[in-house]
Structure 1
Amino acid sequence: MKLITIIPAYNEALDIKNVSKEALKYSDVLVVDDGSYDETYRLAEESGAMVVKHPKNMGKGAAIKTGLKIGLEKGYDVFVVLDGDGQHDPFYIPALTAAIDGAGIVIGSRFIGGVPENMPLQRKVSNALTTHLIKYMTGYTLTDSQSGFRVISKDAAKLFLDISYDDYVYESEMIHRASKNDLVIREAPISCRYGHEKSYITWINVLHYISFILKLILRKIKNRVTL
């Protein structure tokens, strides 16, 4: 099994070197610098990771797609995706990759075993709402549909290259695309570190996500009516 960890990063100079070095203990690493204007690119290179850079900020989804495309071109079989801000501990890479056998996606869940006490309230609420909506849309019974710590099989990665979304909606559309192709999705427990991490989610992103959900709901209702 040829494994690579993809780290989408935007202005993550504070953490990217350490995150990359930790991930390198378990796999090859590709950092996709999504148009950062700080020292993210240089520090990622210093960690020993492969690094590519978008000429401008394109969105987390676009960065993941770039990573998957390069990984497929280089012949990797399994793709780990984790954030570059230090929230995700690369220590969990072996446990998540061990669960990929026969699955399209393994999601690192922060909620298996209970709600994490250190998670900000708004994240708890948004994840609960989104996860219930995703269950309704796709039939997957998940606990943490919004987790960005994921493992993706080669066959699944090929299906996700042409997803049109470039922002945070991409990760939810990934689950929707998986359901349309009858892929197995599993979850495995992780812990998450919260503190100085930044959020680049704007009101435009929120409205875009609401639009995405409404489209899926209308499509599902239409399919039920036509049946």
Structure 2
Amino acid sequence: MQPSVSIIIPAWNEAFKISETLRSLHDLRDKEGIQKWNEFIVVDDGSEDHTYEMATPWADQIIKNPRNLGKGASLEAGWKRAKNDIVVFLDADLGGTAFLTYKLVEPILNGNKDMVIARFPKAQKKGGFGLVKKLAVQGIYMLCGYETTAPLSGQRALRKQLLQSVPSLSDGFGIEVGLTIDAVNKGFKICEVDVPYQHRETGRDWAGFTHRGKQFVSVSKTLYHKWRDPVC
């Protein structure tokens, strides 16, 4: 019998997209042969809009943080409440493409991988200059020897055993980098797969460059901490 799947969605001010994302996952739940997708958990991270209300009809559980605690704390709260052996982390803004998550989980259901990372299609509009991604790729390789092409992707399927074996999740934009380093250094098997998700993209404007600047700082801090305090 295939193991069951819990999907964790951290959300902060995602009222515009969260219900569409969850409806798409319900379509996946109804898909023939995938009846085991039986738990959708939303962690409302202190949203100031109607995220909670928009998620309520579609989520099996909603955890409401009293204030904005960050993505790491939200994912931590979500997976620790999950009842199933496979946990999937998804962003709230995937909309109708969330249905494609079955592609992300297949390598784990087949029994030979412990964590699967989604590779997105090429961005539809020009973003940054790749500095954050290059930093993450080189840092991950230096600290654990894994060659990645999607170091910043937050769409991941994992065995709960992996999450129980690594330290608490890093916060900020470095969370995915830290999780990859810890998983490889703990001996877990990981891979990347192409999944044609669509989500909100940042452009070459002030907001986009500010976002990528925060990413660069956060990833740098995570790499430093993983270098200073490696897991073994």
Shorter-chain TM range is 0.7 to 0.9
1:180 to 181, 185, 189: 185
Identity %: 25
Give unmatched runs, 5+ long, in structure 2. Answer: 30-36
Structure 2 residue 67 is the aligned partner of structure 1 residue 56: yes
Structure 2 counterpart of 1:189, one-letter code: D
Structure 1 consecutive aligned stretches of length 4 or more whose deviation exceeds 6 Å:
196-200
Which residue does 1:223 correspond to in 2?
A: none
Structure 1 alignment gaps of length 5 or more: 221-227
Which residue of structure 1 lines up, in the alignment, with residue 4 of structure 2?
Answer: 2
Query: In the TM superposition, what is the alpha-carbon distance from 1:87 to its structure 2 partner?
Result: 6.7
Deviation of 1:180 (Å): 2.0
| Shift in Å, 1:125 | 4.0
Q: SS where residue 99 of structure 1 aligns?
A: helix
Taking structure 2 as the reference length, the TM-score comes to: 0.80
AA at the equivalent of 2:179: M
Tell me how large the CA RMSD over aligned residues is.
Answer: 2.7
Q: Does 1:170 align with 2:175?
A: yes
Shift of 1:219: 6.8
Contact 1:18–1:47 under 8 Å retained in 2: no
**What is the match of residue 34 of structure 2?**
none
**Aligned residue number for residue 97 of structure 1:** 105
Q: Are residues 1:150 and 2:156 paired?
A: yes
Instruction: Give the Cα–Cα distance (whole angstroms) in 2 for the partners of residues 219 and 13 of structure 1.
Output: 38
TM-score for the superposition, normalised by structure 1: 0.82
CA distance in 2, matches of 1:123, 1:145: 15
Q: CA deviation at 1:205?
A: 5.7
Pairs within 5 Å for 1:126-141: 126-141=132-147
SS in 1 for 2:88: strand
Give the deviation of 1:106 after TM superposition: 0.2
Partner-residue secondary structure (3-state), 2:128: helix
Shift of 1:90: 1.6
> Offset at 1:177?
1.1
CA deviations on 1:31-81 (whole Å, 9 max, x unpaired) are: 11111111001110022442111111011111111111001xx2x010111
Q: Deviations over 1:8-27 (max 9, x none)?
A: 10000000011011113332
Letter in 2 for 1:185: I
User: CA 1:48 to 1:207, structure 2 compared with 1: closer, same or farther past 3 Å?
Assistant: closer
SS in 2 for 1:92: helix
Q: Is the 8 A contact 1:119 1:194 kept in 2?
A: no
How far apart are 1:148 and its partner, in Å? 0.6
Aligned mate of 1:79, from 87, 99, 102? 87
Range moving further from structure 2, 40-49 or 189-198: 189-198
Query: Could you say if the C-alpha distance between residues 191 and 123 of structure 1 is closer, same or farther in structure 2, counting changes exceeding 3 Å?
Result: farther
- Alignment check: 8 A CA contact 2:17 2:95 kept: no
* Paired residues, number: 212
Work out the CA distance in 2 between the residues paired with 1:215 and 1:190: 30
Counterpart for residue 20 of structure 1: 22
C-alpha distance in structure 1 between counterparts of 2:97 and 2:146, whole Å: 25
Distance in 1 between residues matched to 2:101 and 2:17, nearest whole Å: 18
